[in-house]
Amino acid sequence: MKTYDVAIIGAGVIGTSIARELSRYKLDIALIEKEVELAFGVSKSNSGIIHPGTQNPPGSLKGRLCVQGNTLIRKISKELGVDFKEVGELIVAFDEDDIKELLRLKKEAEVLGVPGLKIVDKKWLEKNEPNLNSAAVCGLYAPTAGIISPYRLVYDLAENAVRNGVKIFTNTKVININRADKYFEINTSSGLFRSRYLVNAAGLFADEISGMLGINDFKIKPRKGEEFILDKKKADLARHLIFPLPSKISKGVLIIKTADGNPMIGPTAEDIEDKEDLSTSDAGINRVLASARRLIPSINDKDIIAYFAGLRPASGDDFIIRHEETCPGFINVAGIQSPGLTASPAIAVLTANILKKNGLGLRKKIIFHAHRKKTVHLFEIQLSKTGSLIKKDHAYGDIVCRCEMISAKEI
């Protein structure tokens, strides 16, 4: 049986980010995923927002890693050829109490080092967000917010990690884990794995993985978010990411620009018990519509083309990223809800540092392939140029999705 230096459980954006970061070093790494594809857990319903760091308190891991991740994701997107668009974020105020809250958020974000923040007045809102509710009096503008495709990011991270030697095992569910003779023995549906170090990035199931090693001091509570997608003809509905003031458990119902061009509206925030419940409801969608129309009254339910729900792995107010002293070599990376996507590259660096601090030798490879060639997408090129592209690679001529013009080559 092969012994890996590090085994990572969970191949969403956190697990693939950690795998790619560790692939810089002379290590044997296994990335284990229970689903048949990557990003089939929490990451599959991610909104794709790269947050600036305006809604997490100073002193928290969320705040620090969000700001760091916002910077790192730009470098990574260039290296991997993933489109990142800086579109800016706007948190909207409607009365004097809201304004006081905006000023508090601005002050906290400045402590974290979020750049370019400013309070914009009603005149600015009318000019830059013409569809916004006319009752809005001002907003907190953060220019460094952006959007990215979370699914492309996960797959490109994984592809690059594999190029640098990482082994990925999908359709491989962890059944139990034993700590024996300085090794972790990971019994899975695909057989037995052995590793010197183990990283738990299992999303909604991180508490169950942790419990297999006797660490039960946190629980993951699924927090359901229902959302809907509008037709691309409404792409100009908003020019920025538009937020209401956040609550204690959620950033609220947002108007989201996406990397694919369709506006996304949502999500709700409902704590549930079932970690597999991705159902939508009329009540949930109606709540989203009512909240979204407070921001942009012209949103029309006739423009909705799809509904979906996702689950966030809620566990307390902050991320759980730590080495477990009672189980040497075991790193929990759990409770990674928003702003987890933004923070993912910073979480990966932090995890590598924790591993190093606890005895894992990190010797850099002489050759690390940091870059991948950007995928050419048919919908992004002129129709007159598609013929020559298909001649070079016939897979571009096999159209899998005619509505979005996606070819077999791109998949």
Task: Please choose, from the candidates 112, 107, 9, the residue with its C-alpha nearest in 3D space to the C-alpha of residue 52.
Answer: 112
Beta-carbon contacts of 188 under 8 Å, excluding residues fewer than 6 positions away, are 32, 169, 172, 173, 174, 175
Average pLDDT over residues 191-200: 98
Helix H or strand E segment including 200? strand 191-200
User: Residue 377: pLDDT band by 50, 70, 90 thresholds?
Assistant: confident
**Percent of the chain residues past pLDDT 90, beyond the cut:** 88
- Nearest-angstrom CA–CA distance, 205 and 333: 11
Average pLDDT over residues 62-78: 98
Give residue 373's pLDDT: 82
Give residue 249's pLDDT: 67
Give residue 403's pLDDT: 73
Say if residues 339 and 66 touch (Cβ distance below 8 Å): yes
Q: Provide the whole-model pTM.
A: 0.95
Is 383's pLDDT higher than 70?
no
Give residue 247's pLDDT: 77
- Positions marked catalytic: 51
Q: Domains for the chain: give ranges and CATH numbers.
A: 3-45+151-219+317-357 (3.50.50.60), 83-145+221-314 (3.30.9.10), 378-407 (no CATH)
Other residues' Cβ atoms within 10 Å of the Cβ of residue 103: 13
- Nearest-angstrom CA–CA distance, 287 and 173: 36
Is 224's pLDDT higher than 90?
yes
Is 379's pLDDT higher than 80?
no
Average pLDDT over residues 261-287: 96
Average the pLDDT over each of 26-40, 101-115, 238-252 and give the range with the smallest value.
Answer: 238-252
Average pLDDT over residues 220-230: 97
Is 389's pLDDT higher than 90?
no
Beta-carbon contacts of 198 under 8 Å, excluding residues fewer than 6 positions away, are 6, 7, 8, 9, 177, 184, 186, 329, 330, 331
Tens digits of residue pLDDT in 96-112:
999 999 999 999 999 99
Work out whether strand 49-50 and strand 146-148 pair parallel, antiparallel, or are unpaired.
antiparallel
Average pLDDT over residues 256-266: 95
Task: Please choose, from the candidates 258, 246, 247, 242, the residue with its C-alpha nearest in 3D space to the C-alpha of residue 298.
Answer: 242
Average pLDDT over residues 124-134: 98
Beta-carbon contacts of 27 under 8 Å, excluding residues fewer than 6 positions away, are 5, 6, 165, 360, 362
Question: What is the radius of gyration, based on Cα positions, of the chain?
Answer: 22
- Nearest-angstrom CA–CA distance, 94 and 137: 5
- Rounded to the nearest angstrom, the gap between the alpha carbon of residue 251 and the centroid of all alpha carbons in its chain is 15
User: Residue 410: pLDDT band by 50, 70, 90 thresholds?
Assistant: confident
Beta-carbon contacts of 265 under 8 Å, excluding residues fewer than 6 positions away, are 227, 228, 229, 230, 253, 254, 255, 256, 288, 289, 292, 299
Give residue 78's pLDDT: 97
